[in-house]
A and B are shown apart, each in its own frame.
Chain A
């Protein structure tokens, strides 16, 4: 069975500062993907970043980057230069081989303070 754990129900950060959201996972698959999704109050699920397990290089998308530790089964999201628009629920998700069904963590609510 695949599981995803987000141990921080809530986090807060000052505008322009950096914050890291944690995620650990468990899977017996060798071919898998990891994702971070953002869900603002509008409830739209927005793909922030993804990481292929076979790639050692950490994925980056502008101010968003991940720290993928495959052996430790850890996949944290770093948001640099936090903006008010980054305030949202963030979900870590694990998928098998690309567009297969995803298993989601419970989410971390991020507050950005002005």
Chain B
């Protein structure tokens, strides 16, 4: 059973701080990794994806991947109250024809003004 684990939170950070969200996965063969943001009552929206070891930056967001440790993280710099949401980590196994992503249960982030 492939598993993706996230701390459910809530993770509370002050406005302007760095929020660090973590995710571990069980399938060592996983190839690509995704971070989704979901506001309450809304559908998930893709923030970033990463498939190479190391860091990938997009604006205030940085995804970090360590395949040896089976660990992926999302850093949010200069956190804003509008970043308050649930963040879902999702993992794709080796490319085998559009097999479904496996999602974690999400971490709830609260940015305090």
A binds B: no
User: Which A residues contact B (CB, under 8 angstroms)?
Assistant: none
User: Which B residues contact A (CB, under 8 angstroms)?
Assistant: none
